[in-house]
Chains A and B, each alone.
Chain A
Amino acid sequence: MKFDLSILAKHIPFLLEGAWLTLQACTLAVLGSLVLGLAIGAMRTSASPLLNRLAAVYIDIFRNIPFIVQLFFFYFGLPEIGIYIDAFTTGVVALSIAGGAFTSDVIRSGILAIDPGVIEAAQVSGLRKITIFRKIILPIALRASVRPLGSVFINLILTSSILSTITLNELTGSAKIVASNTFRPFEVYFVLLVAYAALTYSVSILIGMLHRYLNRHQEEGAV
């Protein structure tokens, strides 16, 4: 059997639909995990022992359970107790929750790395706690976290392929269907491989640009 991509031509629209679904799910999950990560990361560095503990437990749980198990629990487990959520929403929520455990850890280190003197300067100038968090802590921590957040997001994109196991025909799901319809798994999965590589590679380029942009003032050699 020879390698022939042309036989996939008529399946391209179907694959693109899958790719579009992957893109949507990942974009939402990146945002979701960022928001969750900020909240949990802030809790993890807060002075309140209760919030701190809760955040630590969250991070521990979701980082130490295989994603597919979390996903099955949400999708196949919850209906047993009367909670029904569609596959797409379940997928996005599960990815956000699992991603949030990792982003919160990145954001926590970003916060801990801030020079305490800078925060003290903000305190003595009379800024309220919430203002210090919004105007000082968050922007500094996020700037330092762009690259490590990028790796978390790329992992999230790769993990999104697991959503195909809950009937969601995103990129991997549609590829599986095409492969079994055409009996050409080699070509199909070759295309899939290239597609994921292209996707994650573009994300990493974007992340690099964002990092350079946000940290532009630190790179122009300090005097």
Chain B
Amino acid sequence: MISITGLRKSFGAATVLNGIDLEIRQGEVVSVLGSSGSGKSTLIRCINGLEKIDAGKITVDGFDVSKPRELSEARKRSGTVFQLFNLYPHMTAVQNVALAPIEVLKLPRMQAEAEARELLHSVGLTERADAYPSQLSGGQRQRVGICRALAMKPSYLLLDEVTSALDPEMTSEVLSILAALAKTGTTMVFVTHEIEFARSISSRIAFLDKGQLIADLPTEEFFSATGMALPRVAQFLSKMRKD
């Protein structure tokens, strides 16, 4: 379980997350929605320890991410997929995927690379396994990014707008992989602007507004009268649907 209680985060004078309580249990797919600047990326970056939190507590399977010793355990349990892929440019797809299993899990290189090839095969990149990131399309790069996160066999997958740098065709190739992952029970925290997709794969929707979690509802409730009763949610959804 990822457990977030009383999370506060400021950048200088600006409070970006203002008292967040959120739990993500094994097997759930939680989509985090909210308008630009509402703090979604910051929330993800707090969970994986890229940002120091100012108050509150975040634990991943009981490991406190604010404690340096526990952070590495917490990080072993969650994988992050980034908006801009952030692949290692000097390594091939296989090397990108196998690096952490070799260095962190201490798998033998042969085994790690074999598993990496299998993962790449599962996302349709059998032929591109030995290509460098610069030789791949955006959609292919993001599929490598997903494999890299999955290679650590994480209990939780954190995804921050993983398709927003992609064109529609590439977006759908990445989304179909995520849909398959959701079906197989991978726990995901999914930050997105793809409302309809979020609706189709999520068990719950968390809605951030100016650093506060103003809704945390089962998906169908969120998209029904219960969600619409919240003015900010209604406003957000109508704006997103227009775009």
Q: Does B50 contact A (CB under 8 A)?
A: yes
Which residue of chain B lies nearest to A122 when distances are taken between CB atoms in the complex? Answer: B88
Q: Does B137 contact A (CB under 8 A)?
A: yes
Q: Does A180 contact B (CB under 8 A)?
A: no
Find chain A residues with CB under 8 A from B104 CB.
125-127
A221 to chain B, nearest CB (A): 8
Count residues of chain B with CB under 8 A from any CB of chain A. 29
Q: Does A176 contact B (CB under 8 A)?
A: no
Residue among B48, B90, B103, B149 with the highest chain A CB neighbour number at 10 A: B90
Q: How far is the CA of A187 from the CA of B87 in the complex (A)?
A: 57
A47 to chain B, nearest CB (A): 13
Q: Does B12 contact A (CB under 8 A)?
A: no
Say what secondary structure dominates the interface of chain A. Answer: helix
* Contact status of A127 and B100, CB under 8 A, knowing A117-B82, A120-B86, A139-B90: yes
CB of B75 within 8 A of CB of A124, answer yes
Find chain A residues with CB under 8 A from B140 CB.
223
Find chain A residues with CB under 8 A from B75 CB.
123-126
CB of A217 within 8 A of CB of B134, answer yes
Find chain A residues with CB under 8 A from B100 CB.
125-127
B-side residues, CB < 8 A to A, are: 48-50, 72, 75-76, 78-80, 82, 84, 86-90, 99-100, 103-104, 132, 134-137, 140, 148-149, 152
Extra inter-chain contacts (10) besides given A124-B50, A127-B104, A143-B90, CB under 8 Å: A117-B84, A120-B86, A121-B87, A121-B88, A123-B49, A124-B49, A128-B103, A131-B103, A139-B90, A222-B135
